[in-house]
Structure 1
Amino acid sequence: MRSMARRGLAIATTLALLAGSAACGADEGSSRGPVPGVTDTEIVVGTHMPLTGPASAGYSKIAPATKAYFDYVNANGGVHGRKISYKIMDDGYNPANTQQVVRQLVLQDKVFAILNGLGTPTHTGVLDFLHSNRVPDLFVASGSRSWDQPDRYPATFGFNPDYTVEGKILANHVKTALPGKKVCFLGQDDDFGRDSLAGVEKVLGADAVVARQTYVTSNTNVAPQIGAFKAAGCEIVMLATVPGFTALSVGTAARLGFSPQWLVSNVGADHPTLARQLGDAAGLLDGMIGVNYLPMQNDTTDPWIQLFTKVNSEHNGDAPFDGNTVYGMAVGYLFVQVLLAAGPDLTRESLVEAVRKGGYQGPGVAPLRFSTTDHSGYGGGRLSRISGGVQSYFGPTYETDEEDGPVNEYSAPPVAPPANGVPTA
């Protein structure tokens, strides 16, 4: 009898353990138990951002702009009756700090998702941690192709056009409008620079780039790199640089008596940010060509700029308005769209499935490409030029892939925002 009792106790204990395991599994996004970061009245999400450090110029404004848009949505009733709370953690653009703050957001703050974590070298270091903890990792603020790995990282999605796509678009302009000129390339010494260079070489060919240089954000002296370009007789310099290093490159070139045609990744091409960095020397930016995929920050006739300017005034302390403000609010708008699509019975699984569903339209001039097989985000962009201190679009919007496909014109017009500025399900 005692033997049977012991067996009965063992079976009961095993069942209890299995029930406990099921409860733990439910905590990761099943409707059978509590969902991290979600209550009947609130959705808590988090991010890592360079509020300080070498990439803080301009980028420190992104998350406050996203939060301002969430505050605007909250003031208009929230999403399915829930208010969005946004926890913003400063990582100083330091990968070691990123790992620390993301662990805090996930393990201590129990956020529902990580939204728009910024930086190629920083976010790369937390991909496996977020994947193993089954945390949705949405709209990474970087164009690295690392985010577009649906099989390896099924809950990670990009936002920016990937750097190879924009490298191809910039190179296509060189090929068609500036043929025969000596091309040089300066890129950040990570996937940002490498992926961008890959796009340039796919269009122009490796032999067309006569000099290649890299930089690291811990060293603000780019005179050796710019000096090498001058010595090589470069007529065009293509930059895969964060804003601080775009400004450093332009300022250093002027000091060395070197004045090439600059073509710059969207990452480092926002004119208001660069002008603040260069101060009285901001005129050096005239003629710079960039690529962008969101409404131009100074286009007051654009309905999205009108909406975001209103939100900035009402919920962001009327902070100086630039491309980073537009970017942050565009991310917020997309996240609200996805939350609505995920439905009122919100889980991590339903959120990820809502992104995979795709079909989203918003402020972007290029298409969003989310699907079960594509996690890359925006798929193209439009060229801009700075003239007389004003940054403006010119020419058509282009789209392309990260492989060897052509650079094609994209003709679908952008959609207008809803009347009240808040998307509907």
Structure 2
Amino acid sequence: MRGVGLLGVAAAAVLVLAAGHAPAQSGKTRGVTATEIIIGMHTDLSGVAASYGVGSSNAMRMRFDELNAQGGVHGRKIRLIVEDNQYQVPRAVQAANKLINRDNIFLMAGALGTPMNNAVLPDQLKANVPNFFPITAARQMYLPFHRLKFSGGSTYYDQIRAGIVWMVANQGKKRICTLYQDTDFGKEILEAVQDQTKAMNLPLIETATNKPADTDFTAQITKLRAADCDLVVLGTIIRDAIVPYATARKMGWDVTFLGQSANYDQIVAGAPGGVTEGFYTMAGTVLPYRDTASPTVVAWMDRYKERFGSDPNIGAVYGHALADQLIFAFDRAGRNLTVDTLIAAMESIRGYRDIFGGPVASYGPDKRQGSNESFLYQVQKGRFVQIAGPVNYGS
């Protein structure tokens, strides 16, 4: 591989198509010069999801800078331009417009948030700017099919369906309920619960909803408890996962709760007073802990902390993994880097695995989701412990 240095996780992938054989675009490719590739990212650096945005953008920048210090990829260095969307749709649209129309980016990578991506994507795709590995597990990130949309891992929908399969098979759950945000995100969880219970000929016993900013879940938990649920599936994020779980325990209700990757954050596992002990969640990746991580991951953690002054979080895991996968694709695309050659490179990837031990990802001409496999975790002594995986709802 010419001038790309250590690709780490890329070494695990087997490629079946030489991307250099793909048809090239005519004329000059936006965001690509003889010496540079320009990547854009709109994310939350100062709003309610800043822990994800700061961690992911830091890790991406670190990975690209390390590559650039080794000479870049095929003689080109990668320049990452990050705009703060504050986890607000209008700001995301404004940020994307700047990135696409003023900064002339080659592609968008790691854009944070379902509603933000949904708002930006129509104009972005019209401008022929690919969307790579957005930091959201919504199905819209690869459905409906579009040649410019690539999503790395399992969706909320995949995770919940797989989690219900496991809970029924391994814990005998039969009375399933759900508590979900009254948002597009929450409704995707509801749809997953409805589809999986129907597929297993189980009733959906009861549902309850909340607003993202709710802080009191007494009414919802009382309603679900009265329905005698034995599994509560959560379509919530961080705080609105911690509070209902703690509320149920305070009320003396020891029902099983099952979340998804929006709950898979050390903030949840390490909630004060151990109030989330026993909480289950599905996720599409692995959150490393220093005492169990591989030497490669420990070295990455040390470099991150030395540079940014804090330990890497799950956002940083996402950022490193997606940046590394992009570098791999750039290398395979060859010196003639265009949108077409990059897509051909992505479509050729088989068997990619990140350094953290996440699911194997593969793509193809009609496949834009790298993997639909998930892992099941439980909070034990303030950390996520893997219980099962990788699993999917077809298994």
TM-score w.r.t. the length of structure 1 is 0.78
Contact persistence 2:359–2:390 (CA under 8 A): yes
Contact persistence 2:137–2:261 (CA under 8 A): no
Match of 1:295 among 286, 293, 306: 286
- The residue identity in structure 1 corresponding to 2:311 is P
**What's the offset of the Cα at 1:129?**
0.7
| 1:9-61 C-alpha deviation (Å, 9 max, x unpaired) | xxxxxxxxxxxxxxxxxxxx965433222222221111121223333344542
Within-5 A mapping of 1:374-393 = 374-393=367-386
- The residue identity in structure 2 corresponding to 1:130 is Q
Q: 2:123 corresponds to which residue?
A: 129
**What's the offset of the Cα at 1:318?**
3.9
Match of 1:202 among 195, 201, 204: 195
Q: 2:236 corresponds to which residue?
A: 241
Shift in CA distance, 35/274, structure 1 to aligned 2, threshold 3 Å: same
Distance 1:50 1:183 in 2: 34
Contact persistence 1:295–1:305 (CA under 8 A): no
**What's the offset of the Cα at 1:224?**
3.8
Shift in CA distance, 222/82, structure 1 to aligned 2, threshold 3 Å: farther
Distance 1:242 1:54 in 2: 11
Task: State the SS of the aligned residue for 1:131.
Answer: helix
Contact persistence 1:266–1:291 (CA under 8 A): yes
Contact persistence 2:160–2:282 (CA under 8 A): no
Q: 1:329 corresponds to which residue?
A: 320
Distance 1:216 1:393 in 2: 30
Contact persistence 1:54–1:218 (CA under 8 A): no
Match of 1:358 among 326, 349, 352: 349
Please identify the structure whose Cα radius of gyration is greater. 1
**What's the offset of the Cα at 1:167?**
1.2
Contact persistence 1:121–1:190 (CA under 8 A): no
Within-5 A mapping of 1:210-221 = 210-221=205-216
Matched, 1:269 2:264: yes
- The residue identity in structure 2 corresponding to 1:335 is L
Distance 1:56 1:214 in 2: 25
Matched, 1:67 2:61: yes
Q: 1:225 corresponds to which residue?
A: 220
Contact persistence 2:304–2:310 (CA under 8 A): yes
**What's the offset of the Cα at 1:92?**
2.0
Contact persistence 2:174–2:202 (CA under 8 A): no
Task: State the SS of the aligned residue for 1:274.
Answer: helix
Distance 1:180 1:360 in 2: 34
- The residue identity in structure 2 corresponding to 1:297 is P
Within-5 A mapping of 1:313-324 = 313-314=305-306, 316-324=307-315
| Structure with more contact order per residue of length (Cα contacts < 8 Å, sep ≥ 6) | 2
**What's the offset of the Cα at 1:290?**
1.7
Distance 1:323 1:180 in 2: 30
Distance 1:58 1:296 in 2: 13
**What's the offset of the Cα at 1:223?**
4.3
Shift in CA distance, 191/308, structure 1 to aligned 2, threshold 3 Å: farther
Distance 2:334 2:215 in 1: 47
- The residue identity in structure 2 corresponding to 1:231 is A
Matched, 1:340 2:331: yes
Matched, 1:186 2:179: yes
**What's the offset of the Cα at 1:136?**
0.9
Which sits farther off after the overlay, 223-232 or 39-48?
Answer: 223-232
Contact persistence 1:358–1:370 (CA under 8 A): yes
Distance 2:374 2:216 in 1: 31
Contact persistence 1:46–1:114 (CA under 8 A): yes
Task: State the SS of the aligned residue for 1:126.
Answer: helix
Distance 1:92 1:248 in 2: 24
Shift in CA distance, 256/83, structure 1 to aligned 2, threshold 3 Å: farther
Shift in CA distance, 252/99, structure 1 to aligned 2, threshold 3 Å: farther
**What's the offset of the Cα at 1:127?**
1.7
| 1:272-308 C-alpha deviation (Å, 9 max, x unpaired) | 22256x3x33x01211112233333115332552243
Contact persistence 2:39–2:107 (CA under 8 A): yes
Task: State the SS of the aligned residue for 1:334.
Answer: helix
**What's the offset of the Cα at 1:228?**
2.6
> What 5-or-longer segments of structure 2 have no aligned partner?
1-22
Task: State the SS of the aligned residue for 1:85.
Answer: strand
**What's the offset of the Cα at 1:105?**
0.7
Distance 2:301 2:378 in 1: 22
| 1:357-388 C-alpha deviation (Å, 9 max, x unpaired) | 23251225323132111112222012111112
Shift in CA distance, 136/180, structure 1 to aligned 2, threshold 3 Å: closer
Distance 1:237 1:331 in 2: 32
Q: 1:145 corresponds to which residue?
A: 139
- The residue identity in structure 2 corresponding to 1:167 is I
Distance 2:219 2:95 in 1: 35
**What's the offset of the Cα at 1:161?**
0.6
Alignment RMSD, CA only? 2.6
Within-5 A mapping of 1:88-103 = 88-103=82-97
Q: 2:75 corresponds to which residue?
A: 81
